[in-house]
């Protein structure tokens, strides 16, 4: 196997995790959309995505949470 540099290695991990997300058996957003009042389907989307693709989801959440907190504080103060 060819040794990859940092960016290409991360990109490869992201692609592998994305493929896993596309092939989820449980936890697909379509499950929740079919029955939006079913809280189990709502929670399953996040749990199963994190379980199947921890590297990708970790990077998504690490960007999402600080941005959402900053936006909430901004909106509260304005």
Q: What percent of the chain has pLDDT over 70?
A: 95
pLDDT of residue 61: 93
Residue range 36-67, pLDDT digits in tens: 898 988 898 899 999 999 999 999 999 999 99
Confidence band for 31, pLDDT divided at 50, 70 and 90 = confident
Distance CA 7, CA 18 (A): 16
Distance CA 42, CA 70 (A): 25
57 burial (CB, 10 Å; 0-12 / 13-18 / 19+) is middle
pLDDT of residue 23: 85
């Amino acid at each position: 196997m060819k040794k990859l540099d940092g960016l290409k290695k991360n990109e490869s991990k992201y692609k592998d995790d994305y493929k896993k997300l596309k092939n989820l058996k449980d936890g697909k957003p379509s499950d929740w959309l079919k029955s939006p009042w079913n809280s189990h389907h709502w929670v399953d989307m996040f749990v199963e995505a994190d379980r199947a693709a921890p590297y990708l989801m970790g990077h998504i959440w690490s960007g999402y949470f600080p941005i959402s907190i900053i936006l909430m504080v901004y909106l509260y103060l304005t």
